[in-house]
Amino acid sequence: RADPPPPARRYSTLYMQAPPALEQQLRPNLDKPLKDLIESGDEITVTDPVFPGSKSLALKVVFEDAMAE
């Protein structure tokens, strides 16, 4: 008997400054609470030109109300 596959991971871009068309499409996300965009336990990757080379920052987000469960 095979185990069920793990849940599918969601990948999406929350915001980008460029290209302009993508920035315009994603701009409404800036007004939304983070909990409306991701789930507790999700990992987000932050990229920025100030990071040396092509480095990025990975953050695991856990909402306080989820910690009480």
What's the pLDDT at 53? 87
The span from the CA of 48 to the CA of 30, in Å, is 16
| pTM attached to this predicted model | 0.69
Among positive and negative, which fits the CA dihedral 28, 32, 34, 38? negative
What's the pLDDT at 67? 60
* Mean pLDDT in consecutive groups of 10 residues from the start of the chain, 69 residues: 61 89 96 93 91 90 77
What's the pLDDT at 8? 56
Question: For the chain, how big is the Rg over CA atoms in Å?
Answer: 15
The span from the CA of 37 to the CA of 12, in Å, is 9
